[in-house]
A and B are shown apart, each in its own frame.
Chain A
Amino acid sequence: MIHSLFLINNVGDLFLEKHWKSVISRSVCDYFFEAREKAGEPDNVPPVIRTPHHYLINIYRDKIFFVSVIQTEVPPLFVIEFLHRVVETFQDYFGECSETIIKDNLVIVYELLEEMLDNGFPLATESNILKELIRPPNILRSMVNTITGSSNVGETLPTGQLSTIPWRRAGVKYTNNEAYFDVVEEIDAILDKSGSTVFAEIQGVIEACVKLSGMPDLTLSFMNPRLLDDVSFHPCVRYKRWESERVISFIPPDGNFQLMSYQISAQNLVAIPVYVKQNICFFETGSSGRLDITVGPKQTMGKTVECLVVTIHMPKVVLSVHLNATQGTYNYDLVTKILVWDIGRLNPQKLPCLKGSLSLQSGAPKPEENPSLNIDLKIQQLAISGLKVNRLDMYGEKYKPFKGVKYVTKAGKFQVRT
Chain B
Amino acid sequence: MRENRGLGSKMTDSKYFTTTKKGEIFELKAELNSDKKEKKKEAVKKVIASMTVGKDVSALFPDVVNCMQTDNLELKKLVYLYLMNYAKSQPDMAIMAVNTFVKDCEDPNPLIRALAVRTMGCIRVDKITEYLCEPLRKCLKDEDPYVRKTAAVCVAKLHDINAQLVEDQGFLDTLKDLISDSNPMVVANAVAALSEIAESHPNSNLLDLNPQTINKLLTALNECTEWGQIFILDCLANYTPRDDRESQSICERVTPRLSHANSAVVLSAVKVLMKFMEMLPKDLDYYGTLLKKLAPPLVTLLSAEPELQYVALRNINLIVQKRPEILKHEMKVFFVKYNDPIYVKLEKLDIMIRLASQANIAQVLAELKEYATEVDVDFVRKAVRAIGRCAIKVEQSAERCVSTLLDLIQTKVNYVVQEAIVVIKDIFRKYPNKYESVIATLCENLDSLDEPEARAAMIWIVGEYAERIDNADELLESFLEGFHDESTQVQLQLLTAIVKLFLKKPTETQELVQQVLSLATQDSDNPDLRDRGYIYWRLLSTDPVAAKEVVLAEKPLISEETDLIEPTLLDELICHIGTLASVYHKPPSAFVEGSRGVQHKRLPARAGSSDVVQSGVSEAPPAVIPSQGDLLGDLLNLDVAPPTASVPSVQPSMQLGAMDLLGGGLDSLPSVSHRTEVQSPQPSSDNSESELGGDISGSPSMGGGLGGAPASIPAGLGSAPAVGGGLGDLFDLGGGVGLPTGFYVAPKTVWLPAMKAKGLEISGTFARRGGTIQMDLSLTNKAMTVMTDFAIQFNRNSFGMAPAGPLQVLTPLTPNQTIDVSVPLGTTGPVMKMEPLNNLQVAVKNNIDVFYFSCQYPLSLLFVEDGKMDAASNKLQGSNIFTIAKRTVDGQDMLYQSIKLTNGIWVLAEMRMQTGSPNYALSIKCRAPEVSQFVYQCFELVLKN
Across the interface, A119 reaches (CB within 8 A) one of B38, B157, B234, namely B157
Chain B residues numbered 737-767 whose CB sits less than 8 Å from any CB in chain A: none
Of B150, B199, B256, B338, the most chain A CB neighbours within 10 A belong to: B338
* Given known A78-B227, A157-B111, contact A107–B13 (CB-CB < 8 A): yes
A104 to B157, CA, bound (A): 32
Closest Cβ of chain B to A193, distance in Å, is 9
Contacts of B335 in A (CB 8 A): 190, 198-199
Chain A residues numbered 68-107 whose CB sits less than 8 Å from any CB in chain B: 71-78, 80-82, 84, 103-107
Across the interface, A73 reaches (CB within 8 A) one of B52, B261, B580, namely B580
Q: Is A152 an interface residue (CB 8 A)?
A: yes
Contacts of B588 in A (CB 8 A): 73
Q: Is B581 an interface residue (CB 8 A)?
A: yes
Closest B residue, CB atoms, query A58:
B307
Contacts of A59 in B (CB 8 A): 305, 307
Contacts of A201 in B (CB 8 A): 303, 333
Closest Cβ of chain A to B668, distance in Å, is 57
* Given known A44-B343, A122-B227, contact A77–B259 (CB-CB < 8 A): no
Across the interface, B153 reaches (CB within 8 A) one of A78, A121, A152, namely A121
A82 to B321, CA, bound (A): 29
Stretch binding the partner chain, chosen from A159-167, A210-218, A279-287, A381-389: A159-167
Q: Is B460 an interface residue (CB 8 A)?
A: no
Q: Is B777 an interface residue (CB 8 A)?
A: no
Stretch binding the partner chain, chosen from B69-77, B128-136, B711-719: B69-77
Please determine whether B311 and A47 come into contact, CB atoms closer than 8 angstroms: yes
Please determine whether A261 and B308 come into contact, CB atoms closer than 8 angstroms: no
Q: Is B260 an interface residue (CB 8 A)?
A: yes
Contacts of A81 in B (CB 8 A): 226, 262-264, 308
* Given known A59-B305, A151-B75, contact A47–B12 (CB-CB < 8 A): no
Stretch binding the partner chain, chosen from B116-124, B902-910, B933-941: B116-124
Q: Tell me how many residues of A have a C-beta within 8 Å of chain B.
A: 101
Contacts of A55 in B (CB 8 A): 580
Please determine whether A107 and B48 come into contact, CB atoms closer than 8 angstroms: yes
Please determine whether B124 and A22 come into contact, CB atoms closer than 8 angstroms: yes
Please determine whether B54 and A118 come into contact, CB atoms closer than 8 angstroms: no
A119 to B193, CA, bound (A): 10
Please determine whether A139 and B11 come into contact, CB atoms closer than 8 angstroms: yes
A127 to B367, CA, bound (A): 43
Please determine whether A151 and B74 come into contact, CB atoms closer than 8 angstroms: yes
Chain B residues numbered 28-85 whose CB sits less than 8 Å from any CB in chain A: 37-38, 41, 45, 48-49, 52-54, 72-75, 77-78, 81, 85
Stretch binding the partner chain, chosen from B208-216, B417-425, B546-554, B590-598: B590-598
Please determine whether A232 and B299 come into contact, CB atoms closer than 8 angstroms: no
* Given known A48-B311, A81-B264, A118-B118, contact A106–B124 (CB-CB < 8 A): no
Please determine whether B592 and A72 come into contact, CB atoms closer than 8 angstroms: yes
Please determine whether A265 and B263 come into contact, CB atoms closer than 8 angstroms: no
A122 to B308, CA, bound (A): 19
Please determine whether B74 and A153 come into contact, CB atoms closer than 8 angstroms: yes
Q: Is A370 an interface residue (CB 8 A)?
A: yes
Closest B residue, CB atoms, query A7:
B52
* Given known A119-B156, A232-B259, A263-B296, contact A17–B230 (CB-CB < 8 A): no
Please determine whether B38 and A258 come into contact, CB atoms closer than 8 angstroms: no
Contacts of B109 in A (CB 8 A): 156-157
**A136-148 contact mask (Cβ, 8 Å, vs B): 1 or 0:** 0101001100100
Please determine whether B580 and A265 come into contact, CB atoms closer than 8 angstroms: no
Please determine whether B261 and A77 come into contact, CB atoms closer than 8 angstroms: no
Closest Cβ of chain A to B72, distance in Å, is 6
Contacts of A152 in B (CB 8 A): 74
Contacts of A313 in B (CB 8 A): 338
**B288-315 contact mask (Cβ, 8 Å, vs A): 1 or 0:** 0000000011011001011110111000
A161 to B373, CA, bound (A): 54
Chain A residues numbered 387-418 whose CB sits less than 8 Å from any CB in chain B: 413, 415, 417
* Given known A44-B341, A107-B48, A153-B74, contact A72–B199 (CB-CB < 8 A): yes
* Given known A47-B310, A77-B264, contact A162–B153 (CB-CB < 8 A): no
Main SS of chain B's interface residues?
helix
A44 to B379, CA, bound (A): 13
Q: Is A231 an interface residue (CB 8 A)?
A: yes
Please determine whether A157 and B110 come into contact, CB atoms closer than 8 angstroms: yes
Closest A residue, CB atoms, query B193:
A121
Contacts of B507 in A (CB 8 A): none
A230 to B579, CA, bound (A): 24
Closest A residue, CB atoms, query B89:
A23
Contacts of B75 in A (CB 8 A): 151
Q: Is A34 an interface residue (CB 8 A)?
A: no
Please determine whether B225 and A122 come into contact, CB atoms closer than 8 angstroms: yes
Q: Is A30 an interface residue (CB 8 A)?
A: no
Please determine whether B37 and A232 come into contact, CB atoms closer than 8 angstroms: no
A288 to B261, CA, bound (A): 50
Chain A residues numbered 49-79 whose CB sits less than 8 Å from any CB in chain B: 50, 53, 55, 58-59, 71-78
Chain A residues numbered 316-372 whose CB sits less than 8 Å from any CB in chain B: 368-370, 372
Please determine whether B52 and A18 come into contact, CB atoms closer than 8 angstroms: yes
Contacts of B578 in A (CB 8 A): 75-77
Closest A residue, CB atoms, query B71:
A155
Q: Is A26 an interface residue (CB 8 A)?
A: yes
Contacts of A153 in B (CB 8 A): 73-74, 77
Please determine whether B74 and A110 come into contact, CB atoms closer than 8 angstroms: no
Contacts of A137 in B (CB 8 A): 11-12
Please determine whether A110 and B52 come into contact, CB atoms closer than 8 angstroms: yes
Contacts of A84 in B (CB 8 A): 305
Q: Is B7 an interface residue (CB 8 A)?
A: yes
Of A74, A81, A161, the most chain B CB neighbours within 10 A belong to: A81
Closest A residue, CB atoms, query B338:
A372
Closest A residue, CB atoms, query B260:
A232
Closest Cβ of chain A to B356, distance in Å, is 16
A17 to B49, CA, bound (A): 11
Please determine whether A75 and B268 come into contact, CB atoms closer than 8 angstroms: yes
Contacts of B52 in A (CB 8 A): 16-18, 106, 109-110
Contacts of B370 in A (CB 8 A): 192, 417
Closest Cβ of chain A to B885, distance in Å, is 34
Closest Cβ of chain B to A376, distance in Å, is 13
A313 to B45, CA, bound (A): 47
A39 to B54, CA, bound (A): 28
A394 to B640, CA, bound (A): 70
A38 to B72, CA, bound (A): 49
Q: Is A36 an interface residue (CB 8 A)?
A: no
Q: Is B689 an interface residue (CB 8 A)?
A: no
* Given known A73-B199, A110-B81, contact A235–B261 (CB-CB < 8 A): yes
Across the interface, B306 reaches (CB within 8 A) one of A43, A73, A110, A154, namely A43
A315 to B376, CA, bound (A): 12
Q: Is B24 an interface residue (CB 8 A)?
A: no
Contacts of A249 in B (CB 8 A): none
**A103-133 contact mask (Cβ, 8 Å, vs B): 1 or 0:** 1111111110010001101100110000000
Q: Is B521 an interface residue (CB 8 A)?
A: no
Closest Cβ of chain B to A327, distance in Å, is 26
With A77-B264, A188-B303 already in contact, 6 other A-B pairs whose C-beta atoms are closer than 8 Å: A21-B160, A41-B341, A46-B310, A73-B581, A103-B17, A118-B153
Give A contacts to B, CB under 8 Å: 1, 15-23, 26, 39, 41, 43-44, 46-48, 50, 53, 55, 58-59, 71-78, 80-82, 84, 103-111, 114, 118-119, 121-122, 125-126, 137, 139, 142-143, 146, 149, 151-157, 161-162, 164, 166, 188, 190, 192, 198-199, 201, 203, 229-235, 239-240, 242-243, 258, 260-261, 263, 265, 313, 315, 368-370, 372, 374, 413, 415, 417
Q: Can you report 23 residue pairs joining A to B where beta carbons are below 8 Å apart? A: A17-B54, A21-B160, A47-B307, A48-B310, A50-B584, A71-B594, A72-B199, A73-B595, A77-B311, A80-B263, A81-B264, A103-B17, A106-B49, A119-B121, A121-B193, A143-B7, A154-B73, A156-B111, A199-B332, A230-B300, A239-B259, A368-B373, A415-B337
CB-CB nearest 6 A-B residue pairs: A153-B74, A104-B12, A230-B296, A47-B307, A151-B74, A77-B264
